[in-house]
Amino acid sequence: MCGIAGFINARGCADGAVLQAMLRRIAHRGPDGQGVFLDGAAALGHRRLAVIDLEGGPQPMFNEDGRLALVFNGEIYNYRALTRELTAAGHAFATRSDSEVLLHGWEQWGRGLLPRLRGMFAFALWDRQDGALFCARDAFGVKPLYYCQTAEGTLLFASEIKAFLDHPAFEKRLNTAQLELYLSCQYSPGADTFFCGVKKLLPGHWLEWRGGRLRTGRWWAPDLAPARSPGRWDGAIDAVLRDSVAAHKVADVEVAGFLSGGVDSACLTALGRPARCYTIGYAEPGYDETAEAAALARALGVEHRVRHITPEEFWAALPAVQYHMDEPLADAAAVALYFLNQEAAREYKVCLSGEGADELFAGYNIYREPFTARWYDRLPAALRRGLGALAARLPAAPGLRFLVRRARPLCRRYYGNTALMTEREKRRLLRSCRGRVQPFDLARPLWQASEGLDTVTRMQLCDLSLWLPGDILLKADKMSMAHGLELRVPFLDREVFALARRLPAAAKADARHTKKALRAAAARHLPDASARRPKRGFPVPVRDWLRRPVWASRVQEAFHSPAAARFFDVRRLDRLLARHLHRRQDNWRQIYCIYCFLVWYDQFFGGDPA
C-alpha cells in the first residue's frame, strides 16, 4: 500500500524537483520510504508503506533488462501463485514482493494480466523503449487513480488530486458543474471531479499514453446473473469468505480489524480473528455501538479497543477530512473513519474492513423498498406524479419524501441509496443551477444494461458502479491513508463476487430483511443477535449536534462566508438551518452537505480571488 504520482512532460525533460514536491503532498500515504525515477520526459514517483517483502520491495521497480518501470499502489493477493506460473514460463524474480508480478505479468500477457489479478490496485507502468505509459485500476475501485492532460499536453497521474497542485503545468480551476451532482449525491459521482480537467480513472478501466495521445478503455464490468432456483447458499458463502479472508491476511506485519455492531465486520472478525479490533463510539446512546461490539469481541476472544469521539473533536477534524478526501464528501461516517484509522495506525499497518458487503449481498435498507407499499405503486401514474409534485413543494416532513420518491418508478429515479436534494431544492438554494447533467443520467445506462433482472439486483448494479467507488471505497482509502494505514476489504474479492453475482433474489432482501444469505452464513460463527442485527450504517450524531447552538453557530458562520454568497442564496441557507435548529424540520443532511462543501472549498480555494 502506498501512494504514486508522476507525469509525462509535453515539452522537455522531467524536472525531479517537481516530482519531489508532488510526492511530499502525499507523503502520508507512504511513511516508510520514497522512490523516484526520471527518464527523459517521464517521471515516476512512489511513497511506500512496507507490508510485504519489507526489505526487497522498494519502488519504482524494474524488470530484468530495465525496459519497464513500475509504481504500484495496492496488494495482489494471488501473487505467490502468479509468481510460480511466471517462473515456470521463464521469468526471473529478484524480490518476494507482490509488485514484481505486475512487471513480469505485463511482459507475459500484456493487458491480459489484469483479469488474472486478485487484489486491489492502481499502477503505472512506463515502457522506456516504446515511450508509452500504461495505467490500470482494480475492478471495484478500491484504490484511486486520477489523471489530467494539461493545456500544453503534459499528462499527470497520482493517487490523490492534491499532488497535481505542485506541477507548474497544472491550472487549478473549480468545476462548478460538479457541485450540482454533489448536492444530489453527497459525493462527487462519475468520471469528472471538482477540478477542471482532472478525471478519475474509473474502476475496471485502463489508460494508455503514447506519442502524446491519451486513450482509456474498460477491462472489467460487474455482470450480475442471479440464479433461478433459490437453493441454500450459506455453505458456499462461508467457504468463499474463509478463503478471501485468509488471502487478505497475507502480510509480513500483523493484521488488525474494525468491528462495529453490524454483521459485516462481525463476520470478518469471526473468520479472520485479527490481532486486535477497533470500534468508534459516542456519548450519545442512540448512536453508540460499542456495547454490542465489545460483547461480540468477548464472545470471539478478540482483543478490543474503543475510541470515543466528542463533538469538539468531530467538528475540529472536518477541515483535515475534507483536505484528505480531495473532493467534498458529506458522508459523516468519513470523520468517524478518520479517527478509527488514526487509532489503529498507532500500532498497526494493516486492518480488515467490511466495505462491499452491502452492495454484493443486498444489505441496504432501501433494497426492501420494492417489497413495501406495493398498493401505492398500483395507483394511476398520473395521480402518483401529482402527489409527488405537491409533496416536493411542501416543507420537509415525515411521509413526504415517500410521496416524492414513489412519484416515478424505481427504474426511472434510483441512482443510489443517498438521494439528497431534488432538482427543485437545488434551484432554490443555488445562485446558478443549470441542470445540464442530472444524477439519474449517470444511472440510466446501468438500468438499461440490467433490463430483465429483478429490481434489487438492478439497484445493486447502480450502487456497485456509482455509490461504492464514489463514496464508500474512496473515504475508506483516503481516511486510512491519511494515517499511513492499509485497509483491506475481503468482501470485494473476485472469488466472492463470482459467487455473489449468482445469488437469487430470494437470497437477498424482502420487505423485512436484508442480506438474507450472508446473515445465514454468518450465523454459523456468530451469536444469533449479531447475525440478525438490522443494518444501521455508520451512525454519527450530526443531526443532534446541529440542534445545539454552539455547533449551529459554527455552521451559520460558514453560511455567511464569501464562498457561501458566491454559490448559494444565503437567506435560504439561514432558513434551512433555523428550521432544523428549532426542530421544525429535519434538515441535517442538507445542511451538512453544504457545510462540507464550504469547508472543502476553503481548503483548496480559500486563498484564491473570487
40 has binding-site annotation: no
The answer to whether 262 and 290 are in contact (CB under 8 A) is no
C-alpha angle 468-417-480 in degrees, rounded to nearest 5: 35
470, 415 contact by CB (below 8 A): no
CA atoms within 13 A on the CB side of 109: 14
Tell me whether residue 2 is one of the annotated catalytic residues: yes
Q: How far apart are the C-alpha atoms of 89 and 116, rounded to whole Å?
A: 15
CA distance 313 to 315: 6
> Residue with C-alpha cell 474512496?
474
- Confirm or deny that 98 is annotated as ligand binding: yes
Is the preceding omega at residue 60 within 30 degrees of 0, hence cis? yes
Which helix (H) or strand (E) segment is 213 a member of? strand 213-218
Report the distance separating Cα 492 and Cα 74, nearest Å. Answer: 13
Rounded Cα distance, 80 and 560, in Å: 57
* 528: Cβ contacts below 8 Å, ≥ 6 apart: none
Rg from Cα positions in the chain: 24
Angle at 358 between CA 194 and CA 409, to 5 degrees: 75
Backbone angles phi, psi at 286, to 5 degrees: -70, -10
Helix axes 570-581, 588-605, angle to 10 degrees: 130
Grid coordinates 445562485 are at which residue? 431
* Cα dihedral 54/245/114/112 (nearest 10): 110
Edge-first strand order for the sheet with 68-76 is 61-62, 68-76, 119-127, 132-137, 205-210, 213-218
Q: Is 66 left (phi over 0), alpha (psi -120 to 50) or beta?
A: left
To the question of whether residue 260 is assigned a binding role by annotation, the answer is no
Q: Which of 2, 148, 185, 462 is catalytic?
A: 2
Cβ–Cβ under 8 Å, residues 179 and 597 = yes
Q: What's the CA gap between 4 and 124, in Å, rounded?
A: 8
Task: Extract the C-alpha cell encoding 548.
Answer: 445545539
Instruction: With beta carbons less than 8 A apart as the criterion, state whether 201 and 145 touch.
Output: yes
- What length does the chain have? 610
C-alpha cell at 547: 440542534
472 marked as part of a ligand binding site: no
Gap between the Cα atoms of 300 and 295, Å rounded: 9
CA–CA distance, 225 with 223 (Å, rounded to integer): 6
Rounded to 5 degrees, φ, ψ at 454 are -65, 160
For residues 71 and 145, what is the distance between their CA atoms, to the nearest angstrom? 12
Checking DSSP bridges between strand 255-258 and strand 277-282, what pairing results, if any?
A: parallel
User: Binding site residues for L-glutamine, as ranges?
Assistant: 98
Residues involved in catalysis:
2
Which parts are annotated binding residues for ATP? Answer: 280, 353-354
Q: What residues are designated binding site?
A: 98, 280, 353-354
